[in-house]
Structure 1
Amino acid sequence: MTRHVFLLFHRYIGLLMAVFLIIAGVTGSAIAFYDELDAGLNPTLYQVEPPGTPPLSLDEIARKIDQQYLQGNAFIRYTKFPEKDDIAIRFYLLANHDPSTGEPYPLAFNWIFANPYTGEVLGTRTFGAWKLDSAHIMPLLWELHYSLTLPWPYGEWIFGAVALLWTLDCCMAVYLTFPRSRRKFFRQWPKAWSVNLRVGAARAIRDSHIAFSLWLWGMLFMLAVSGVMFNLNHQVYQPVLSKIVDYEHVHDTLPEATAEQRQQRISLETARQKAREYLQDWQAENSFTVYEEDSLTLDMRKYAYRYKVKSALDLPASYAQTAIYLSAADGRFLARSHPRVDTGNFISTWLGALHMGRVFGAWYQWVMFFMGIVVTLVTVSGVMIWWRKRRSGKPKGHN
């Protein structure tokens, strides 16, 4: 009875997820090399000529951008610092509200690329817009992968629900590969790991569906669980993980800002300099190496700046996860975090890095490129198996 229920779940939930997993697989292969492809497609947005003089301060660049483009209609929520001297600085924008209507000002774009030495705007883009030019194709693929480009939070919730079903399906699918007879388990189960190419196309497709899923089960399960983490973090992932291991999401521990505090805001450069001071104090206490600045983010919900750097506390060859949090109102220190702060953080950081191909170097990016193809092929082959059985008129529950 249990096997029959699992089979029905695997079959029909698999069909329900098919379109979403194919979209996730195809787009996932492309965005495994997101940074490289985006920079290669848009050299005029990314490349600058270092003049041999220091970059302008963030406040100077922001002032130039506001005078030329924003005119008070938007503010900088996120700053991505250049990885090298010849790379542009990037800003993500949020609209200010029109005091006469209370509505956000309409924005023609939400990303700006600028020369860090002159403040000159190199180009703009609207992240996730349905435009197929070189400036928008990679962000569009990213948004399709993450949320189908649907308005927040509906796309994230849909993909989160798919990831949750996929996680359950991964577990049931393994069980379905087990032989019905326990006495023949060790003699028959190894056959599920192989593909017999001499028994016709239909059987080869079925064998490939099972064998690829078994050999790569760990990676498929990781993608499913990390999908839940990205899209249903507060709703599902955090509550479950917190029951298993120590896990404190530092952002959730930050104090709420008062209405009075929200009436004032320190500048970007002031936030950067204060965060650097707090980081130096931290280094003096714990003696770790900081490799480079990564980003500065204004969190409007907590009204706090998050300053991130790449450091020796992060995972090897991975993205920046060492962070300082400070009040956006007055710059006072609020918190700090890194991947090794507790077991839950360590697990979550590894899941995120593995999912995004941001660990171990370029070879693992290729692994994730091929995993996107595998997800697509396994999903398509599953639909083909169902369609063949449906056309052949085999009884329900037949495996």
Structure 2
Amino acid sequence: MPHGKSDDHRPSQAGKQSSLTPMAADMKPHFRQNLVLIHRWLGLTMAGFLLLAGCTGAVLAWNEELDHWLNPELFYSKAPTAAARPLDPLLLRQNVAQAFPDAQANTVPLAQEAGRSVIFWLSGRMQADGTLSEPANDQIFVDPYSGRIQGARHWGDISQGKQNLIPFIYRLHYSLALGDWAGTVFGIIALLWTVDCFAGAWLTFPAPQRKNAAALPTKAGKSWRQRWAVSWKIRRGGGSYKLIFDWHRAASLWLWAMLLVLAWSSVSFNLPAVYKPVMQALFASQPEPGLQAAVRPGGQAPKLGWDAARTRGRALMTALAARKGFVILEEDDLSYDARSGLYSFSTRSSLDVSRRWGSTLVYFDGDSGTERGAWLPTTEASGDTIRSWLTSLHMAAIGGLPYKLFIMLLGLVVGSLSVTGVAIWWRKRRGRQSQARARQQQSLTLQDAEQG
């Protein structure tokens, strides 16, 4: 989010010539002054949040690597023999369901990586009052060769120790680890950040030239583009304040597009009530069958068992790929939504942006197996294509190691922009206070002289 004015702390250019009409020349400065105020107070409001989000985001660029390194006993499973083959994921699900009878394992990961455990996510069961119970642990790690439960944790609960350090940092990143209400606050901050991206960018543009430009001959005759070029540079030998100001402005400009990606994608994660209506008004989107289906009575099991559902999902996905012309790269997961009574079968396909997960989905009825819809990550609807790219860019799910390094550095830049923004405001505030004291002292001196 670009910050700061093109002419930073230099005197007003009231003496410059202008091709603006008198009304335009009068309106432009007021518009700019209002943007300065908006940028200043939005920046101060967001500073602490973005400092935290930037620094934790830099760590989370390596989310999986760090989590695996800290908790090898959870994530790694050694094959007993060279010829050993993993058990069927649906059999592993049965083991999990038996080991945790008070919870539900309604998602089965179908992709298996050699030497890695299989991870199941648990949800609570419906209670008599219509609420879901809270399982003691919601992330279960299973040895794919023996079916043994090799570990469990309640994701993000730091009281469980180092096994939840990285998930806890993740919770800090998007909600201060304080729950849904704090996640909504972060969503509002992300929305303010999105607005500030455009306000800050405008303030990097050169201020309008006015009459009597001869008063500042060093800038006379420079084009708008030449004057704007200053905003992209960091001056040398100008002291600490100029260095801070130039870094704040230039770094924001060079990285403006990615800062906007981070801001707007954060709105999509934390404030969907704003993101969805805006995007649906501007771009085409696909319906989401899971959200449109009628709610089934609680506790009613589907007639299609998990084996039959996987077979049906594979058949529907193969037919969908033939109709839409994409290639299935690997199966991702099979899920059942008890609320809607729908299964979803997910694959990673040639339409997916992310390299880490699959978002090519087909939905079908849990009783009859009838297809209820599909969702494609790209090509089908422009709004969903944008959403897929925003999510993958934000979560470093593309580009491999180079992009992870870039996202890590970008997180540090976001933190630095918050710190330098506050430093610039504090320096200017002290300057204004000093000027006010000087004017007051001058006024008192004049009064004393008149009285004397």
Residue in 1 that maps onto 2:74 = 45
Percent of counterpart pairs with the same letter? Answer: 32
Contact kept? 1:314, 1:320, Cα under 8 Å: yes
Q: Who is 2:247 aligned against?
A: 208
Partner of 1:56 in structure 2? 87
Q: Does residue 150 of the first structure (1) align with residue 187 of the second (2)?
A: no
**Displacement, 1:73?**
0.7
Hey, what does 1:65 align to over in structure 2? 96
Q: Counterparts of 1:78-89 in structure 2 under 5 Å? A: 78-89=107-118
2:104 corresponds to 1:75: yes
2:51 pairs with 1:12: no
Query: 1:140 maps to which residue?
Result: 168
Return the offset for 1:163.
0.8
Deviations 1:234-271 (A, max 9, x none): x11221122222122424664224438x6123444443
**Alignment partner, residue 170 of structure 1:** 197
Counterparts of 1:375 and 1:177 in 2: how far apart (Å)? 18
Cα deviation per residue 1:174-220 (whole Å; 9 max; x = unaligned)? 11112212575223211111111311111211111011011111111
* Deviations 1:32-60 (CA, angstroms, capped at 9, x unpaired): 12122222222221111235354333443
Query: CA 1:316–1:26 in 2, change beyond 3 Å: closer, same or farther?
Result: closer
**Residues 1-399 of structure 1 mapped to structure 2, 5 A cutoff:** 1-50=30-79, 51=81, 52-68=83-99, 70=100, 72-99=101-128, 104-131=132-159, 133-152=161-180, 154-182=181-209, 185-233=224-272, 235-251=273-289, 254-259=292-297, 263-265=300-302, 266-315=304-353, 317=355, 319-339=357-377, 340-394=379-433
Check 1:54–1:336 CA distance in 2 against 1; reply closer, same or farther (3 A cut).
Answer: farther
Separation in 2 of the partners of 1:59 and 1:83? 12
Seen in structure 2, the aligned counterparts of structure 1 residues 145 and 299 have a Cα distance that, compared at 3 Å, is farther
Give the residue type in structure 1 aligned to 2:319.
D
Range with greater deviation from structure 2 (297-306 or 237-246):
297-306
CA offsets 1:286-331 (integer angstroms, 9 cap, x no match) = 4532222222333344342322211112227463221122234454
How far off is 1:165 after superposition?
0.4
Q: Tell me whether 280-289 or 348-357 shows the greater mean CA deviation.
A: 280-289
1-structure distance, mates of 2:338, 2:250: 47
Indicate conservation of the 8 Å contact 1:319/1:353, yes or no: no
- Give the drift of 1:117: 2.6
Q: Unaligned stretches of 5+ in structure 2?
A: 1-29, 210-221, 437-452
Residue 172 of structure 1 deviates from its aligned partner by 0.4
Contact 1:92–1:112 (8 Å) recurs in 2 = yes
Counterpart of 1:361, as a letter, is: G
Are residues 57 and 11 of structure 1, via their aligned partners in 2, closer, same or farther at CA, if it must alter by over 3 Å? Answer: same
Larger radius of gyration: 2
Q: Secondary structure in 2 aligned to 1:135?
A: helix
Q: Distance in 2 between matches of 1:24 and 1:124?
A: 27
CA distance in 2: counterparts of 1:106 and 1:245, whole angstroms: 38
Select between 129-138 and 248-257 the one with higher mean Cα deviation: 248-257
Q: CA deviation at 1:13?
A: 1.2
Q: Give the drift of 1:359.
A: 1.4
Q: Is the 8 A contact 1:27 1:145 kept in 2?
A: yes
Asked whether the 8 Å contact 1:58–1:268 carries over to 2, the reply is no
The question of whether the paired residues in 2 share the 8 Å contact of 1:96 and 1:104 is answered with yes
* Residue pair 1:170, 1:221 contacting (<8 A) in 2 also: yes
TM-score (norm 1): 0.90
> Could you tell me how far apart the structure 2 residues matched to 1:147 and 1:330 are?
40
2:3 maps to what in 1? Answer: none
Question: How far apart are the structure 1 equivalents of 2:252 and 2:371?
Answer: 48
Secondary structure at 2:171 match in 1? helix
Amino acid in the other structure paired with 1:365: K
Alpha carbons 1:316, 1:360 under 8 Å: kept: no
- Cα pair distance change 1:231/1:208, threshold 3 Å: same
Shift of 1:223: 0.8
Task: Give the AA of the match of 1:151.
Answer: G
Q: Which runs of 5+ in 1 are unaligned?
A: none
1:70-91 CA distance string (max 9 Å, x none): 1x21001333344412211111
SS across alignment from 1:263: coil
Please report the TM-score for the alignment, with normalisation by the length of structure 2. 0.80
Contact 1:249 1:345 in 2 (8 A): no
RMSD of the alignment, in Å? Answer: 2.4
Determine the C-alpha separation between the residues in 2 that align with 1:313 and 1:180.
45
* CA distance, structure 2, for counterparts of residue 175 and residue 252 of structure 1: 41
CA distance in 2, matches of 1:285, 1:9: 50
Classify 1:329/1:155 alpha carbon distance in 2 versus 1 (closer, same or farther; 3 Å).
farther
**Residue aligning to 2:11:** none
**Residue 289 of structure 1 contacts residue 311 of structure 1 at CA under 8 Å; is this kept in 2?**
yes
Comparing 134-143 and 298-307, the one that deviates more: 298-307
Amino acid at match of 2:359: Q
Q: Is the Cα contact below 8 Å between 1:82 and 1:88 reproduced in 2?
A: no
In structure 2, what residue type is equivalent to 1:173?
G
